[in-house]
Amino acid sequence: ETGVTQTPRHLVMGMTNKKSLKCEQHLGHNAMYWYKQSAKKPLELMFVYSLEERVENNSVPSRFSPECPNSSHLFLHLHTLQPEDSALYLCASSQGEGAEQFFGPGTRLTVL
């Protein structure tokens, strides 16, 4: 595997379900990010982890819970989501803050 991978690629869940998104980067980077991309809207940054420490949380509802167990892996735990949370969730990584970020293919999430 190369670059940034994300699983699953597609996820359909009910509002009462609990699920997790997984991201893995094979680039040796030290920063990882979660973004949300909704139709017709710019990418929205959700969380930033630098050296495995969360350094940014852009007013994201608590029903989204990130976890970064090491510099290569990033999770987004989901629970009691709302239909408006349906979107493409993107993971990215970079070497250093402010550097170009490399994105995974995304997880298309649908909340029923």
Q: What residue ranges bind other proteins (CB under 8 A)?
A: 4, 6, 31, 33, 40-43, 45, 48, 50, 55-56, 58, 88, 90, 92, 97-106, 108
Q: How far apart are CA 72 and CA 99, in angstroms?
A: 17
Q: Which of 106/111 has CB closer to other proteins?
A: 106
Q: How far apart are CA 100 and CA 112, in angstroms?
A: 35
Of 93, 81, 80, 83, the C-alpha closest to 35 is 93
- Cα–Cα distances in Å, from 85 out to 51, 52, 69? 28, 25, 25
Provide, rounded to whole angstroms, the least separation between the CB of residue 102 and other proteins: 6
Tell the residue number behind the tokens 């976890």, with chain if given.
67
Provide, rounded to whole angstroms, the least separation between the CB of residue 91 and other proteins: 8
Q: Which of 4/78 has CB closer to other proteins?
A: 4
Provide, rounded to whole angstroms, the least separation between the CB of residue 4 and other proteins: 8
Q: Which of 66/104 has CB closer to other proteins?
A: 104
Q: How far apart are CA 26 and CA 74, in angstroms?
A: 12
Q: Which of 56/67 has CB closer to other proteins?
A: 56
Provide, rounded to whole angstroms, the least separation between the CB of residue 13 and other proteins: 18
